[in-house]
Amino acid sequence: KAFLTLSNTKLTDVGGRVLSAGLDRPQLKDLDLRIRDCEIGDPTGVALGEALSKCLNMSSLHLEMSDTKIGDESGISLGQALRSLPKIEKAFLTLSNTKLTDVGGRVLSAGLDRPQLKDLDLRIRDCEIGDPTGVALGEALSKCLNMSSLHLEMSDTKIGDESGISLGQALRSLPKIEKAFLTLS
């Protein structure tokens, strides 16, 4: 298990890329990485996605990237990484006050299309995502047939009716869901 918190630091993409590359560990099963209020952007997010995609034994991921400059390239890379994790059962993802839009949000959401995923906590706040991301998330969640627990927060976004419809349909299709907490504001 690896646990690392970097908060209110002067970390930039120079150090962020090297830090991310250090997580390229195929044997890593459980990662808790929290990066808050740093100067990192897409170069770090892309490097992190590339490293995570090689963690083939990962079953639990807690990733928080808040108050950073990450954007669509990071969302795309992280979504692709999630799709390459064959054993992921638990994911806690927080992206707050970033430059993420629907371009990266759709791919990130599609990366959650993991039948073995049992527990998802996804919090996207204060980003420029809207219905294209919400619809993609609903489509991905509908394929998570083993999901028993869902915490979804999408606050200070452009989420609308299309997202509500897609997410509602997804919830109806989850046969094992026992706990659900949704905030769309």
Q: What is the pLDDT of residues 4-56, one digit of tens each?
A: 999 999 999 999 999 999 999 999 999 999 999 999 999 999 999 999 999 99
- In DSSP notation, 59-79 reads -EEEEEEESSB--HHHHHHHH
Rg (CA), the chain: 15
Q: Which pLDDT does position 155 carry in this prediction?
A: 93
Q: Which pLDDT does position 184 carry in this prediction?
A: 81
DSSP 85: -
Handedness of CA 106, 101, 40, 15 (dihedral sign): positive
Q: Which pLDDT does position 118 carry in this prediction?
A: 97
Give the containing element (helix H, strand E) for 91. strand 90-96
